[in-house]
Structure 1
Amino acid sequence: MPDDVKLGEAPLHAWPKDPKTSVVRNGSRLNEILLIRLDAGEMDEETRSRSADGIAAYSAICTHAGCSVTGWLKSEVGDKDVLKCFCHNSEFNPRESAQVVFGPAPRRLAALPLAIADGSLTIAAAFVGKVGAQQAG
């Protein structure tokens, strides 16, 4: 898996798999993650600490309205590629913990800490941050 994620290319969409049962957790769209390989020199310390071999993982669910984050393109406000939700044009910088750089999203995407174990990309801990949009209360 680590070699499938190429530096500078669009993120891969993936679903976590239970290491004991090998059951893929794709029953809910809230489990979808984005895997992206970044230049470690461009990552902030927080992103670097949660990445493995330059690969970072984020929830694919936008924090604004819960739409899917599917875009990888130049930012409206900079010259770097960003993760984009086309529903309402929110953009997230994966190099800086998926912080919001444009649009109505109220907070960054949830991050999934990664590690490499026996040559395989693994999940090191639970999501950092809340997955998805705020629910009406």
Structure 2
Amino acid sequence: MQMKTDSSCCNCSKPKDPGRRSALKICTGALLGLAAASAHRTHAGEISDARPEIGDFLVRTDAEGGTQPLTISDLAVGDKPILAFPLEPASGAIKSGSRLNKVIVFRVQPEEIDEDMRRNSVEGIVAYSAVCTHQGCDITNYVPKDNALICFCHFSQFKPTHGGEVIGGPAPRRLPVLPLKAENGRLVVAGKFSSKPGATAG
């Protein structure tokens, strides 16, 4: 006597649910996407806080919030200084996560710059930390007639043609220099800050 088998009781004979498989693929893709986005944000955050490195561009923020790489032609002797941040070309990340990366950039007569500072400048264009070494206030002003960068919090004064040396006020040390070079007309970081920016000891 032959025994009948009921194929309906066998799980392997049931058709697979294509909808469930698609849902699993979508969920897996979404999780991988979130993980990648999180890793990208973490990496971007690390770059944003990092100090300027050789090869970084200098960029300023325009009125619409866009970024513009600084070029030699953007600055003329006597123009108001420009505040800028470094940008890593490989990632396009602006290093604005720390205010200690803010630099003040302007142009003076090249013949006024001393020999040491001349090596760190481009056609009379110099860049310094925009954070005072006294108590960390922002420095935004250059007074050509006095050849002085001035912090209006406590009136510390620095001589930009001579490596940011202190020429007045309570600042305990000179302003850190950010060395520059030019590549295809763009201003590019040529070295690290000459000393630690901010109100801490260099």
Per the alignment, do residues 73 and 119 of structure 1 end up closer, same or farther by CA in structure 2, a change over 3 Å counting?
closer
Residue 6 of structure 1, CA deviation: 1.4
Matched, 1:81 2:151: no
Matched, 1:97 2:163: yes
Aligned match of 1:62: 132
Q: Which runs of 5+ in 1 are unaligned?
A: none
Which one scores higher on RCO, CA 8 angstroms, separation ≥ 6?
A: 1
What number of residue pairs does the alignment pair up?
A: 131
What does the per-residue CA deviation read over 1:95-120, in whole Å, with 9 as the maximum and x for residues that have no partner?
Answer: 11111111000111100110001221
- Could you tell me how far apart the structure 2 residues matched to 1:21 and 1:42 are? 37
- Could you tell me how far apart the structure 2 residues matched to 1:73 and 1:56 are? 14
**What TM-score, normalized to structure 1?**
0.90
Q: SS of 2:116's equivalent?
A: helix
- Could you tell me how far apart the structure 2 residues matched to 1:28 and 1:44 are? 30
Aligned pairs for 1:16-95 (under 5 A) are 16-73=86-143, 79-95=145-161
**What TM-score, normalized to structure 2?**
0.62
- Could you tell me how far apart the structure 2 residues matched to 1:26 and 1:2 are? 22
Aligned match of 1:130: 196
What does the per-residue CA deviation read over 1:55-87, in whole Å, with 9 as the maximum and x for residues that have no partner?
Answer: 11100000000111122226xxxx423111111
Q: SS of 1:68's equivalent?
A: coil
Letter in structure 2 aligned against 1:113: P
Runs of 4+ in 1 over 6 A off after TM superposition: none
Q: SS of 2:77's equivalent?
A: coil
For the aligned residues, what is the CA RMSD?
Answer: 1.3
Q: Which runs of 5+ in 2 are unaligned?
A: 1-70
Specify which structure has the higher proportion of helix: 2
Per the alignment, do residues 124 and 52 of structure 1 end up closer, same or farther by CA in structure 2, a change over 3 Å counting?
same
Matched, 1:107 2:182: no
Residue 10 of structure 1, CA deviation: 2.3
Aligned match of 1:11: 81
